[in-house]
Amino acid sequence: MEDNKNIEILRGDPKKALIKLAIPMIFALLLISFNNIIDRIWIAGLGTDPLAAIGFVSPIFMIIIGIGNGLGAGSNSLISRYIGAKEHEKASNSALHSILIVAIVSILIPLIILPFFDRIILYMGATDVMGYAKEYGITLTLGTFAFLYNLLLSSQLRAEGDIKKATITMASVDILNIIFDPIFIYVLNLGLMGAALATVLSSVFPTLLAAYWLFIKKNTYLDYSFRKFNYHKEYVTGMLTVGVPASLEEFIISLVNIILNSMIVIVAGTDVIAAFNISFTILQLGMMPCIAIGTSAITVAGVAYGAREYGKVKTTCYYGIKISLIIATIITILLYIFAPQVSLLFAYSQSTSDFYQLIIHVLRMNLLFLVITPVGGICAMVFQGMGKGTLSLLLTVIRELVFVVSIAYILGILFNLGVNGIFIGLILGLFIGSIISFLVFEVFMKRVPNTT
Q: How far is the C-alpha of 219 from the C-alpha of 359, rounded, in Å?
A: 48
Reported as a pLDDT band with limits 50, 70 and 90, residue 373 is: very high
The pLDDT-based confidence of 354 (bands split at 50, 70, 90) is: low
pLDDT bracket for residue 413 (50, 70, 90): very high
Identify whether 60 is part of a domain: yes
> What pLDDT does 263 receive?
92
Stretch 322-326: mean pLDDT: 96
- pLDDT level of residue 2 (50, 70, 90 thresholds): very low
**Residue 452 covered by a domain:** no
Question: Average pLDDT for residues 357-366, to the nearest whole number?
Answer: 91
- Rg of the chain in Å (alpha carbons): 21
**What's the mean pLDDT in 323-335?**
95
pLDDT of the residue at 4: 65
State residue 53's pLDDT score. 81
Which residues form the domain of 310?
5-446
Quote the pLDDT of residue 450: 56
Mean pLDDT within 348-355: 58
Say if 397 falls within a structural domain: yes
Asked whether residue 322 is domain-assigned, the answer is: yes
Q: What would the mean pLDDT of 8-23 be, rounded to a whole number? A: 90
| Overall average pLDDT of the 425-438 stretch | 95
d(CA 128, CA 126): 6
Which residues does 55 contact at the CB level (< 8 Å), separation at least 6? Answer: 261, 273, 274, 276, 277
Does the pLDDT of residue 49 top 60, yes or no?
yes
One-letter identity of residue 310: Y
Residue 95 inside a domain? The answer is: yes
Which helix (H) or strand (E) element contains residue 272?
helix 270-306
Specify the amino acid at residue 187.
Answer: V
The helix/strand/coil state of 124 is coil
Contacts of 374 (CB under 8 A, 6+ apart): 290, 293, 294, 321, 324, 325, 328
The per-residue pLDDT for 183 is 92
Dihedral of the CA atoms 63, 69, 73, 74 (nearest 10)? Answer: 50
Which of these ranges, 53-62, 334-343, 419-428, has the smallest mean pLDDT? 53-62
Contact indicator for 79, 160 with CB cutoff of 8 Å: yes
pTM of the model: 0.81
* pLDDT computed for residue 367 by the predictor: 94
**Burial, 447: exposed, middle or buried (Cβ in 10 Å; 0-12, 13-18, 19+)?**
exposed
Write the pLDDT tens digit of every residue in 293-317.
999 999 999 999 999 999 999 999 9
With bands split at pLDDT 50, 70 and 90, how would you rate the model's confidence at 1? Answer: very low
Residue 440 falls within a domain, yes or no? yes
| Average pLDDT of the segment spanning 212-233 | 85
- Residue 124 above 90 pLDDT? no
In a domain? residue 451: no
Q: Is residue 194 part of a domain?
A: yes
pLDDT, tens digit, for every residue of 145-176?
Answer: 999 999 999 989 988 888 888 889 888 888 89
Q: What is the pLDDT of residue 5?
A: 78
Q: Tell me, what's the pLDDT at 350?
A: 44
Say which residue, 141 or 36, is predicted with more confidence: 141
Residue-level pLDDT at 189: 86
- What is the chain's percent helix, strand, coil content, to nearest 5? 85, 0, 15
State residue 403's pLDDT score.
96
Q: Measure the CA–CA gap between 435 and 428, rounded to whole angstroms.
A: 11
Q: Is the pLDDT of residue 43 over 60?
A: yes
Domain count, the chain: 1
Q: Is residue 35 classed as helix, strand or coil in its secondary structure?
A: helix
In the chain, % of residues over pLDDT 70 = 96
For position 40, what pLDDT does the model report?
75
Identify the pLDDT of residue 452: 43
> What gap in Å lies between CA 44 and CA 39, rounded to an integer?
9
